Amino acid sequence: MAFSSQRRIDVAGLVIALVLLLLAGLVWWDMSSLQILSPYDLGPKVMPIIVSAGLTLLAVGNAVSAFRGDLPARDSLDWKPIVLVLGALACLIALIAFGGGFMIGTALLFAATSTAFGRRAFVTDLGIGAAIAAVIYLLFVKLLTLSLPAGPLERLF
């Protein structure tokens, strides 16, 4: 095997480098539409130029480490819990965006996270989540006078 002495190219590392390069381009593009108010200096453009240049250099640096296989070894990954938690967060966002209040979404998030960490009692956890949400709602709204998005359940209080 001629290639066995070489370390493998890290594809994920190359993707990271590419993303950094895209971000650098985004910052540069955004900067180019800014107006300079003073004839003497670059004003609001200074920092974006520095950041964009830095991100470009780091994209190169990350690409080099990816080619040299310098990234740390990674363990195997279980995707199911990640999808579960992110899905619950998406539900919470949707519920709040469409006026469902936060309590239903919070209960769902509690139960989903608990399931993601290996518990098999979804309905019980849904109840616990709802109870926690209710306590926090009362604490925040009545005691600390902070506003939380209200939906059908919250109006009961």
Partner 1 sequence: MEEAFTSLAGGLAVAIQPMNLLFALIGVLLGTAVGVLPGIGPALTVALLLPITFKLDPAGSIIMFAGIYYGGMYGGSTTAILINAPGESASMATALEGNLMAKAGRGGPALATAAIGSFVAGTIATLGLTLLAPYLVDIAVSFGPEDYFALMCVAFVTVSATFGDSPIRGLTSLFIGLMLGLVGIDLLSGQTRLSFGVQALYDGVEVTTLAVGLFAVGEALYVASRRHIQEERLEAIRGSLWMTREDWKRSWKPWLRGTAYGFPIGALPAGGAEIPTFLSYATERRLTKHPEDFGKGAIEGVAGPEAANNAAAAGTLVPLLTLGLPTSATAAMLLAGFQQYNLNPGPLLFAERPEVVWGLIASLFIANGMLLVLNLPLVGLWVRLLAIPQPWLYAGILVFATMGTIAANPSPVELMMLTVFGALGFLMRRFDYPIAPVIVGLILGPIAESQLRRALSISLGDPMTLLQSPISATLLAIALLALVAPFFLKGLGRFRAVED
**Restricting to residues 55-114, which ones interact with partner 1 according to CB under 8 A?**
55, 58, 61-62, 65, 70-72, 74-79, 81-82, 85-86, 89-90, 92-94, 96-97, 102, 106, 109-111, 113-114
Cβ nearer to partner 1, comparing 128 with 153: 128
- Between residues 6 and 124, which has the closer beta carbon with respect to partner 1? 124
Task: Kindly report the number of other CB atoms within 10 A of residue 130's CB atom.
Answer: 18
DSSP-based three-state secondary structure for 115: helix
Which letter does DSSP use for residue 35 in this model? P
User: Going along 1-157, which residue ranges are E strands?
Assistant: none
The torsion of the CA quartet 123, 127, 133, 137, rounded to 10 degrees, works out to: 140
CB of 5 to partner 1, least distance (A): 21
Q: 50: how many CB neighbours lie within 10 A of its CB?
A: 11
Q: Which two tokens stand for residue 51?
A: 């950041």
Question: What residues numbered 124-143 form the site for partner 1, per CB under 8 A?
Answer: 125, 128-129, 132-133, 136, 140
Q: Determine if 155 is a binding residue for partner 1 (CB under 8 A).
A: no
Q: Which residues between 24 and 43 bind partner 1 (CB under 8 A)?
A: 26-27, 30-31, 34-35, 37-38, 40-43
